[in-house]
Copies of this chain bind each other. A is one copy, B any other.
Amino acid sequence: MSSVSTKPAKGMRDFLPEDVRRREYVVGIIREVYEAHGFEPLETPTLESIETLLGKYGDEGNQLIFRVMKRGAQLQEALEGGGGEDAIADLGLRYDLTVPLARVVAEYGGKLPPIFKRYQIQPVWRADRPARGRFREFYQCDVDVAGTTSLAAEAEVMSAVSMALDRLGFEEARIRLNHRGVLFGLIEAAGVPASLAVDALVAVDKVDKIGWEGVAAELMERGIAAAAVAALEPLLGLKGADAAATLAALEGALASVPKGLEGVAALRELLALASCSGAGRRVEVDPYLARGLSYYTGAIFEIASPFLAGSLGGGGRYDGLVGMFSGRDVPAVGFSLGLERLIVIMSERGMFPAALAPSAVLVAVMGSSLERAARLAADLRAQGVRVDLYPEHAKLGKQLKYAEGRGIRFVAICGSSEEEVGVVTLKDLQSGAQVQLPRAEVGGWHRAQ
């Protein structure tokens, strides 16, 4: 017996059958909705060249990449060369789905449609400190449109995300919407110098975690004058009774900031497009929404649920990123749904259907003949029934207990005299009732249960 721990490694999870079925249920719906919106599936390798990953996620991101050691002679050389960690690794585990998309667009550009709509549902890995709901291996469900600056692309992505939320049962989830032009415009209107605008954005991004007082303290730490900080708060708080009122208020506040007005105009157009689909009723313009990442260039959005602190996913326009490997300018907009958070809420709130597994029948082994049971199992499978065949000689009681333990409701029993006349007895473990049926009718009968 080995003394190795049999727990999954730190921050990793095993998915037992019920867990797999929950994931598959959610992924299946998301995939269906992304398909309904004309997106095409893409999958990229788990391992990328380390050069592809390094320098793409900031200093903090670099530290969170799982690096794979070189092998054989190359490893020996690197160890002897003493080049340290960067010399030892040649591969890294996928950190997100956006850098691989950029690599794919650069590599296969000519084979892809000029406007490339892709979805990608795969795990990513980050050597982060594990915490409740934060794992080192987790799934992202990304949807992106690359190759157009049209706001209809934002609206398509929002429609897809909204329909996925509909189908999963997140009636109450909202889409918080903002625009980098509006946010930077408000920062400028408050009197923050242009050189500190990104600092201000990074601080504002933390408002949900540390409150406005924390943000104000950080803004001043970063060298922004108290007057500008005081001016910024009411500007970010501009929110009318509805989106139209909010936009009107923002327009007033940004009257002298052209990029701010452009942002408001874009939001107005986007709201009109979003209201053509189910996304419209979910949208809420929120000037506070900042999204931490530096690469966004236009509209930004995030899913908020009253049942979870933090977001269920987010995205926006990022016109500079997808072209990073190709040297071409590839405007793009994308969104990433966080699978684990969706599943956390759905589990807590009982949002999964009662039966995720296809209903099954256990074929019991009666008397001495495994073959008779095997024949019945093959027959029922040919009729489309999901069949578990009890594989050993055992007392019926033991077999019924096994069925109960597996959550199987019906047990099919067929002795030699029953086989001779072509009938099967079906025992309902829930009610205790029994019914005898012609063998050929079991499939139809089971579907009707």
Contacts and interface: CB of A to CB of B under 8 A. Distances in A.
Interface string A268-281: 00001100111000
- Name the prevailing secondary structure of the A interface residues: mixed
A84 interface: yes
A390 B148 CA distance: 10
Contacts of A386: 35-36, 38
Contacts of A395: none
13 contacts: A6-B107, A7-B107, A15-B42, A17-B40, A38-B386, A46-B123, A113-B402, A148-B391, A150-B391, A150-B392, A156-B391, A159-B381, A273-B371
Interface string A102-125: 011011100111110110000101
Interface stretch (A68-76, A189-197, A207-215, A341-349): A68-76
Contact of A48 (B9, B35, B79, B277): B9
Given A9-B47, A145-B391, A150-B393, 17 more contacts: A4-B51, A4-B52, A8-B45, A9-B48, A13-B45, A14-B107, A16-B42, A35-B386, A36-B386, A47-B125, A66-B69, A69-B85, A69-B88, A113-B406, A148-B392, A276-B374, A276-B375
A327 B3 CA distance: 10
B41 A66 contact: no
A418 interface: no
Contact of A378 (B72, B276, B325, B393): B276
Interface of A: 1-2, 4-9, 12-17, 19-21, 23-24, 35-38, 40-49, 51-52, 63, 66-69, 71-72, 75, 79, 84-85, 88-89, 91, 93, 103-104, 106-108, 111-115, 117-118, 123, 125, 127, 136-137, 145, 148, 150-153, 155-156, 159, 163, 272-273, 276-278, 324-327, 357-358, 360, 362, 365, 370-371, 373-375, 377-378, 381, 384-393, 402, 405-406
Given A107-B6, A152-B392, A45 B114 contact: no
A223 to B, nearest CB: 31
A37 B406 CA distance: 14
B72 A69 contact: no
A377 B9 contact: no
Contacts of A326: 1, 6
Contacts of A52: 4, 6, 9
Contacts of A324: 2
A204 to B, nearest CB: 30
A67 B68 contact: yes
Given A4-B325, A9-B45, A114 B14 contact: no
A325 to B, nearest CB: 5
Contact of A276 (B148, B277, B371, B387): B371
Contacts of A117: 388
A266 to B, nearest CB: 13
Contact of A63 (B8, B71, B163): B71
**Most central of A6, A107, A123, A378 by chain B CB within 10 Å:** A6
**Most central of A47, A103, A118, A326 by chain B CB within 10 Å:** A47
**Most central of A21, A38, A75, A136 by chain B CB within 10 Å:** A38
B402 A37 contact: no
